[in-house]
Structure 1
């Protein structure tokens, strides 16, 4: 005689399976885009947030294990290894070259169409004894404000192209600048001031204030890609090069990785600070921080330290890199 009915376990198992795969699916899809570098259209913006998805992939793995879904856990584990594997190294310092030349402190700052507080920026230059400053979204009003705040006394050499709006660019230096010039990108016509820096005891270095187009809309992704592809490549067997500025790209974007592959090193990545945010919520927008401001240096240049600093009235934080040039 049957006195007890079997419990309906099948629906519960199916529910656990569905939940497990739902947790795993976002990371799998993300890895399928990020790892081969095939971001297109709206995925370009999304890929900037890869470090957050890498964190989620670990949560998804734990969820699949807790639900005892073997296959979901296996896929989640592979996904987590892949995504964390491309993100985690940015927190670990690398052993750079043993450069024996002089040290140079470089600061780069996006001024948000010239609205950033000039006295705060000059104070950063003074307090940290900055030798070279690159600025983007540099306007005539910003130039006047920086002059009033005393920047000319600290960094007397300059190559400037102030323009109203967001297209201006500039270089300020403690050391002489030679062969100055200006590059205008295709995207939003952002300009890039450049010059050759001459520091006693070191070979000359071509320095450029980088500012490719921002991929704020699907309609301008092609310009963004073109501007990044048009950045000057490193010259490992030629002159030293430094690109510093707002690249509108993270280390998860394939075009920036391609630029690095020509012979540059990302300074923040080199010292284990590659996940420190430089753009996002700093002007009040509810956007998780991402790292789109970079100092890219020739692989012959040693990176000693990188820090980021608040810049009032800008949506970016300033990036300060202490570099050691090779000896002449």
Structure 2
């Protein structure tokens, strides 16, 4: 783990379609505009990173993360702008790299990207990919993306797209941009990330964060075996902050319940309950919700236990109103993060 002053703190959202104060759904267009406003607030309260996910379904408004991030770049000054995640398997690595190199130029070197296979599969049939190729698509495209990060002519051959022969890609960046891989807990995915020397972003959305320590250890051993001196480890987990624990829980639960049950109906999950939620916000759960002090202590414990370089709070969790999330962002930046740094220093 880096020193307390060097640990970075970010916010993640999938652009969950929200409701207004009266409980009426807002449009996807308004949700996207709200996300850009949330990014601007995250920048103003001193957070280090703001990331948006890619989805292609009605619950989430963001299907083109780089477009949203480009808009955020024009309203922010210092915060890094990235994804959570970009579904590389159903996209073209060359176009992805060109888009984020363009974002890097627009943001004066603040772009980053987190690549993933996709826990949601809607993009595969939408863009003409066969789910039976799920593994090979990501393996080959990640290899090609890694070659592109060198920013020199690429020669590559695979089975999932046309070969490249001494192909150059533009625009060039000033200093490259950070690349992470989103991993849900597969040892094979951890080792693959280490092979390329990319950052490891662990999506911890269930269970005790401490159970992911073996994956962190595996990552560091694998980096060493592949000859990479170091690469950062981060965690992405859901949460919400309000003035008190009870307020945070009461605000978060209805939105999270609606979101979980909508997705769970497709995947065969049992209905989400308040009892399960209260377990999830406790010490053995992966939800970071409560007062600033409660959330800060849980984040500090997770950072210490896993030896993290970065923690990203997924602050959007279902239909929670924009104004409520804005208050959560403000508390995260102004109270939680400074308190976490105090606890880590102590």
TM-based fold match above 0.5: no
TM-score by length of structure 1 reads 0.32
Higher strand fraction (1 or 2): 1
The structure number with the bigger radius of gyration is: 1
TM-score by length of structure 2 reads 0.31
